[in-house]
Amino acid sequence: MLIRMAEHSDIEALIKMRLDFTLEYNADLIITESIFEEYHHETKQFLKNAIESKQWYIWVAEINGVIVSHIFLELIAKVPRPGKKTNPFVYMTNVYTLPNYRGNGIGSELLCKIKEWSEAKNFEFIIVWPSDEGIEFYRKNEYVHCKEPMELMLE
């Protein structure tokens, strides 16, 4: 298994995986051709920009040339404060492994690599809002359940 940063050549696979991820948790969603085209265009642009940015980092696990898992990271800058070096923190999202590859430690290996990378970059912490099904996965990988954030829905 190869764990690496996503490249432009991975974009179509990542687009498909994001769609599969969405449909897995929302089986009633109907994807018309126009919805797919809009989604594909928007996601392709997002991924091109993300791969080229220094704000987003997309990690993938590849087996025999096939991306089987991915994790998206966004660096969040913090407002500086006196007397303390200000380092960004990592927001982790869109964590997904193809169903046939789950339960084999692939996600845990990705999390381990991301932890090592984040420590080497001196990021302050990694935060993720897991689904109910994902909580145990994160716990077994040293993540601690913290208080829920507050939100204001705008739409």
* Domain annotation covers residue 57: yes
pLDDT digits (tens, 9 = 90+) for 58-79: 999 999 999 999 999 999 999 9
Domain count for the chain: 1
* Domain annotation covers residue 131: yes
* Domain annotation covers residue 40: yes
Q: What are phi and psi of 88, to 5 degrees?
A: -70, 165
Q: Is the entire prediction scored with pTM above 0.85? A: yes
**Which range marks the domain in which residue 116 is found?**
2-139
Which residue has 């660096």 as its token pair? 75
CATH number (domain holding residue 23): 3.40.630.30
Residue 17: closest CA among 41, 43, 51, 54: 43
Token pair, residue 12, equals: 């179509």
pLDDT digits (tens, 9 = 90+) for 97-116: 999 999 999 999 999 999 99
